[in-house]
Amino acid sequence: MIITKSKPKEAVLRSLEDHERVFIVGCGTCATLCQTGGEEQVNEMANILGKKACGKVVVETPCDIRILRRDLSSHSNIIAASDAILALCCGSGAQAIGEFTDKIVIPGLDTLFVGETERIGRFYERCRACGECIIHETGGICPIVRCAKGLLNGPCGGMANGKCEAGGHVRDCAWVLIYKRLEGQGMVEKFKEIRKVRDRSKKAEPQELKTR
Ligand code: SF4
Ligand code: SF4
C-alpha cells in the first residue's frame, strides 16, 4: 500500500489561494485506509473550502486511468469548469488526475512510502521498489529498507545489543533480525553469503513496465 500523510491545512489553503473553483478528488483505496483521502477527509476539506469547493468525489483507485475515467465521467462538466483539482491521493494518483483532466493539480497529501499495515494509523515502510528483490536471501526481511544504511552485508559496527545505532539504539538492527529469521528457518548459511554491489541500472528512472 502507498502510505500518505496530509499536508498541513494552512499549506493546502495557501496553494489554493489563486483558484476560485476547486474540485476535490479522494482515493478509495490507499488514502482511505491511511485516513488521508477517504470520504471523511474529502468532506472535511470541502467544508473548509466552503464555496470554493465546486465538487468532490472519491475515486476507487485514482492511479488507475481506467477507474479514474469511470469515476470522473459523471463529474466531467464540473471538472471542466473548475480552476484546479485538489488531489487527496498519492503522487501517482495526483499525476494520473492531471494527465487525464489536463487541470492544475494541487497535492493535498505527501506520499511517504510503500508500507505494511499493522492497523489503521500504524504503517511501516517495507519496500523501496528497488527493481531486484533479494528477500529470499535475507529471511524475508528487506535490508534496503530496514537497515538504516541499506547495507547488503551487515551488521555494521554500530550495532549494539541487537539494536541499530541510527536513532540511538532503539530500533532493532535489521541484520540481527535477518540472522534470527534465517536461523529459525534453518538457513543460517545464507547469512554468510556475500551479496554483491547492486546493479543500479535496474532502477534507472523513470521506470515503465510494458508486458503487452
Ligand atoms: S529487496 Fe527490498 S526494496 Fe527491493 S523489491 Fe525486495 S523488498 Fe523491495
Ligand atoms: S546497526 Fe544494523 S540496521 Fe543499523 S545501520 Fe548498522 S547494520 Fe544497518
Run of H or E residues at 116: strand 109-119
Of ligand 1's listed atoms, the one at least distance from the Cα of 131 is 5
Amino acid at 132: E
For 38, other C-beta atoms within 10 Å of its C-beta total: 20
For 77, other C-beta atoms within 10 Å of its C-beta total: 9
Q: How far apart are CA 184 and CA 50, in angstroms?
A: 57
Measured in Å, residue 35 CA sits from the centre of ligand 2 at 32
Q: How many residues does the chain have?
A: 212
Q: Which residues contact 128 (CB under 8 A, 6 or more apart)?
A: 113, 114, 142, 144, 145
> 112 φ, ψ to 5°?
-100, -55
Per-residue pLDDT of the chain (212 residues; tens, 9 = 90+): 999 999 999 999 999 999 999 999 999 999 999 999 999 999 999 999 999 999 999 999 999 999 999 999 999 999 999 999 999 999 999 999 999 999 999 999 999 999 999 999 999 999 999 989 999 999 999 999 999 999 999 999 999 999 999 999 999 999 999 999 999 999 999 999 999 988 877 777 788 888 88
In this structure, which residue's CA is closest to atom 5 in ligand 1? 133
Which domains, from first to last, does the chain contain?
Answer: 2-112 (3.40.50.2300), 131-199 (no CATH)
User: pTM for the full model?
Assistant: 0.91
Of ligand 1's listed atoms, the one at least distance from the Cα of 143 is 2
Taking each helix axis as running N to C, give the angle between helix 65-72 and helix 91-101, from 0 to 180 degrees, rounded to the nearest 10.
60
Which residues approach ligand 2 with their CB closer than 6 A? 147-149, 151, 154-156, 158-159, 164-166, 173-175
Residue pointed to by grid coordinates 529470499: 136
Angle (CA) 199-202-208 rounded to 5° is 175
